Amino acid sequence: MNLSGNLGPNPHSLEVEDLESFDRLVSAGAVHLQGWHAQSLDLRGRSAVLDGLDVAGALFMGCTFDDGVEDGLRRRGALIFPRLAGVPFNPYRSTLYTPGELYAGLAEARYEDLPDARIYQWSIQPGLRHRVDATLASALHDHAIGDALEELAASPPWSGRRMVGVMGGHAAQRGSEDYAAAARLGRLLAQNGFSVATGGGPGAMEAANLGAYLSQADDGALPAALDMLAAVPGFRPSVSAWARAAAAVVERYPGGTPSLGIPTWFYGHEPPNYFATAIAKYFANAIREAILLELCQGGIVFLPGAAGTIQEIFQDACENYYGAREKVTPMVLVGRRHWEHEYPAWPLLRTMAAGRAMEERIFLVDTVDDAVALLRG
C-alpha cells in the first residue's frame, strides 16, 4: 500500500520526524546522513552537531536552523526545502490531524477564526492555483498526510484490524433515524473488531465515527450522546455551535475508540467531524477518495445518500469490476427502497457485476445490523 503518492518505498531512506529521533541517531554514532529525510525539526542549537556530520544527500524539509547554517548545509550537498511564508499550515507535518488541532480555540472563538476554516480560506484565494509556492505547499502537505496515514495503518491498533468504510449523505441530521442508524453501524463495526473509516465530514459520516468512538462505552452512552447532539441538528447556520455540541460529548466521554476520518478542503462547506480521532485531511479530493477506497480492505457500507454517495459507489464498483478476484472487496448498500427506487443504483450495480468476480461480493440489505452480519461472515 502506497498512500503517500511517492514511487514506492526506498530501503536507503530514513524518515526522521522528531527531534528525539535525530538526537538518538546522532548519539548512537550516525555520521553519514545520505538518505535522511528530516521533517519539520527545530535544529536550532545543533549547529556544532551538524558541522560534524556528512550531510551530502540529506533532505531537510521545513526545518529551522541557526542563522547562517542553511547555506553551509547546501554547500556540503544537502537539499533543503524551506519553510513557506504566509501558509497557514505545515506542509511538512509528520502526523495526521486531531479534532483538537483543527478546532483549536473553539471554546472562545468562532469557527471562521479556527485553523480548519483559515486553511480553507487560504485555499480559495483568487489566483492561488497559479502560484508555484501555493501549489507546492498543498502538494507537499498532501504527500505528508499520505505518508502519515501509511504509518498509521501499519501501527497498532489499526494494523491488527480490517478497516471498513462507511459512506453516506452529509445531510443526515442529528436527531434523525438515519443519523441514529449510522451511529449504530459505527458502534457495531467497532465492537466486532473492525476499524471504522469515513469521509470525515458531517451527517452519516459523523454518526459512524461517533458510534465507533463510543463502542466501548456503556450501553447508555450512545443514546445520551445522540440526545446531546440533537440540540444542534446540523452545521448550518453555525458550525461553531455544531462543533461545540460534539466537543461536549467528547468531554463527557473522553478516551473513546479510535476511528479515521478522511475529509477534504475541496468541500470547504463541510467541516470535519469531531469524533474521528485521526483526521487525514487533504486538499485534493480525488486523492482523498482513492485513498479511502484503498484503505478499506474489509469492505464499504453505503448508507442512503445522493450524488456524492452514488459517485463513491461506482468508483468502488469500477475498481472491483476490473480487479483480480482476490482484490475484490465487499460492497454493502443499506436501504432497499432508497437504492432500488429513490436513487436506483442497485439495479445498475447488479447488472455491472453479472458474470464478474465482484458478483458475489455486492449486497443490498435493509438494516445496518444486516450489513455488519454480512461483513462479519
Element (H, E) at 205: helix 204-213
Amino acid identity of residue 215, one-letter, is S
Domains and CATH numbers, the chain: 14-81 (no CATH), 156-376 (3.40.50.450)
Q: What pLDDT score does 2 carry?
A: 54
Q: What pLDDT score does 251 carry?
A: 98
* Integer CA distances (angstroms), 229 to 210, 225, 276, in order: 11, 6, 16
CA geometry: angle 223, 268, 114, nearest 5 deg: 75
Contacts of 336 (CB under 8 A, 6+ apart): 346, 364, 365, 366
In three-state secondary structure terms, 91 is coil
Q: What pLDDT score does 1 carry?
A: 53
DSSP secondary structure code for residue 340 in this structure = I
Tell me how far apart the alpha carbons of residues 338 and 333 are, in angstroms, rounded to a whole number.
Answer: 9
Q: What pLDDT score does 3 carry?
A: 61
Q: What pLDDT score does 6 carry?
A: 46
Question: What residues are paired with 362 via a beta bridge?
Answer: 331
Are the C-beta atoms of residues 280 and 101 closer than 8 Å to each other?
A: no
Are the C-beta atoms of residues 196 and 168 closer than 8 Å to each other?
A: no
User: Does the CA dihedral 96-299-377-154 come out positive or negative?
Assistant: negative
Tell me how far apart the alpha carbons of residues 162 and 196 are, in angstroms, rounded to a whole number.
Answer: 9
pLDDT in tens, the chain (377 residues): 556 544 344 456 899 999 999 999 999 999 999 999 999 999 999 999 999 999 999 999 999 999 999 999 999 999 999 888 889 999 999 999 999 999 999 999 999 999 999 999 999 999 887 888 899 999 999 999 999 999 999 999 999 899 999 999 899 999 999 999 999 999 999 999 999 999 999 999 999 999 999 999 999 999 999 999 999 999 999 999 999 999 999 999 999 999 999 999 998 889 999 999 999 999 999 999 999 999 999 999 999 999 989 999 999 999 999 999 999 999 999 999 999 999 999 999 999 999 999 999 999 999 999 999 999 98
Tell me how far apart the alpha carbons of residues 65 and 80 are, in angstroms, rounded to a whole number.
Answer: 11
DSSP output for 286-327: HHHHHHHHHH-TT-EEE-S-SHHHHHHHHHHHHHHHHS-GGG
